């Protein structure tokens, strides 16, 4: 049985960016996760030990977002690797990171990358 868990619009202030000003000033980022896993046992037992704990997932994302990266791709990769390692029942994971108001020389709401495995 496939279960889908999504954590949407997690907001973080972080210092990711290629330009030196971005690493000093920082910016707001949004992180979204799409997790697919076989959580049949959790469905049957109603036991948190058999599921993917959202609070634990959030703490992984928060921890990785606090570590500066030049590229959002690097932050997303680190998030993905740690979540996969922590929850082996995951069969598909998508990590999306958006930088709000990116410094591109014009008005842009966000730039966004997505990694999945």
Question: Apex CA 10: angle with CA 48 and CA 61, to 5°?
Answer: 65
**H or E stretch at 79:** helix 72-86
Nearest Cα to Cα of residue 32 among 66, 1, 71, 72: 72
User: Phi and psi of 115, rounded to 5°?
Assistant: -125, 145
Give helix then strand counts, H and E, for the chain. Answer: 4, 4
Residue pair 60/69 in contact by the 8 Å Cβ criterion: no
Tokens of 25: 């000033």
Residue 44 appears among annotated catalytic residues: no
Instruction: Kindly list the catalytic residues.
Output: 99
């Amino acid at each position: 049985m496939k279960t889908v868990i999504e954590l949407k619009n997690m907001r973080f202030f972080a210092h990711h960016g290629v330009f030196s000003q971005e690493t000093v000033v920082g910016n707001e980022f949004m992180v979204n996760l799409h997790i697919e896993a076989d959580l049949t046992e959790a469905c049957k037992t109603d036991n948190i030990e058999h599921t993917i704990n959202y609070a634990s997932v959030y703490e992984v994302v928060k921890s990785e977002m606090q570590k500066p990266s030049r590229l959002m791709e690097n932050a997303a990769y680190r998030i993905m690797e740690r979540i996969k390692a922590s929850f082996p029942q995951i069969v598909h994971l998508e990590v999306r990171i958006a930088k709000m108001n990116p410094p591109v020389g014009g008005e842009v709401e966000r730039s966004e990358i997505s990694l999945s495995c």
